[in-house]
Structure 1
């Protein structure tokens, strides 16, 4: 069973030096705050390490992601967040341990087959500039061999889902869209093949504050409505608190904290406290 909190649940963070003072209050966007069914694992890292030319990038990563949750990988640049994410869809392969997706080692599955079940969203969207909006979104379906009518209907459905009206946006090219619209397009393409799992690598990091806030809420809504599992990379504590069912804090290639946003707000770990001390009204 999933233990859930309703969307809109307030989470208050106290000043670490003045316990009576509330320095920030988050309205938690993700409906699934705490996951207790540890048997329903969609991703599992078992003693995973990754090294390049003898340099250890990741070490002793033990982690399970339960179906339906949003796990946020939080940390400073260079801590191993994106490296961890890339191990899931086998853009890189572990040099120690193993990564399982849906109970199977990623190394035992054809890489193309594995990625077809995983949506992937990058900071810049990863869009093809010479393709229209509808062509970008429909690309995974064309590669899978679906007929044109089915593709057209599914693309329209996905554009509506991310608030890009097909009659206005389908024929446009990426350069004719705003940054926020391009990121919506990236999310639509990641969802079009109905994957079980979404991987997002700082998808809203390059956007202005207002657009970013709007897309964070939209992302949380979409994940709830579709019941997707997501792994979300960010260096932003606000984003982690808003979107995460759980937060995995990384430092120097290791996970140094794993827990709910509520757990993180009460954490005594120095790095966690350093993040919390940056929060202000």
Structure 2
């Protein structure tokens, strides 16, 4: 077995939809094609939105599809905990390292204030923080604390971060202009995705991260955190998103193409084969098992633009 360690890292806030399945399939195939293994991590930072019943259902769905993982989830393994809701002490340690470098500061801005400001937006639609609370004095911080609990951000430099994505190719982002100071911790104490995912991928030995193209803009921020924390960064491959036939993003909230509905109409092999077809892994939507796709898998065959599902494919 090679040293490649890939991962599934779903957020169990509802049943999986086709977009989630596609990322899971591509992550599994890429790792297995290299003779590697797959870790299953449950990203349930927001425990209220992600009850354990959804995580358990997610495991059953992945097993039904044949996307069996090597460690993690309820199976456990040597790099636990595998549920982010159980990892606060681990994140606390990393957070303390960043704070000790003088890079963390309290932010009292509300979401509505940020969206009302004329600040630029990142490629994923988030506001680029204008630095409103970056240089507050100790007196100003003490006064604001009387009225509002702060979230915490990390300072970023005016620096270009370059990397080569395994699917999308060369990519460059400027931390200050394209990302801005970003959250490490919410006002309620919950750690932010950017910190949690870096800490978890590093401690689980993940060497390859495959995820949707909507997270491409997170990569520069995460590479910055890897460097600050003295951790080795993985390779990244961001796969194109699946869109409904009318061009809408697939969403758990809308129930679009959820596995609950798909399992009532198709076999596991039919679902896998049709996903393999739209992602350029086979010339027709014939039924396939994940194992049968391993040998010929190549990122060169995967499209670089978002994919509109053909009418009546599912």
TM bracket (short chain) = 0.3 to 0.5
Q: Tell me which protein shows more strand as a share of its residues.
A: 1
Based on CA coordinates, which of the two structures has the bigger radius of gyration?
2
Larger RCO, structures 1/2 (Cα 8 Å, 6+ apart)? 1
Please give the TM-score of this superposition, normalised by the length of structure 2. 0.31
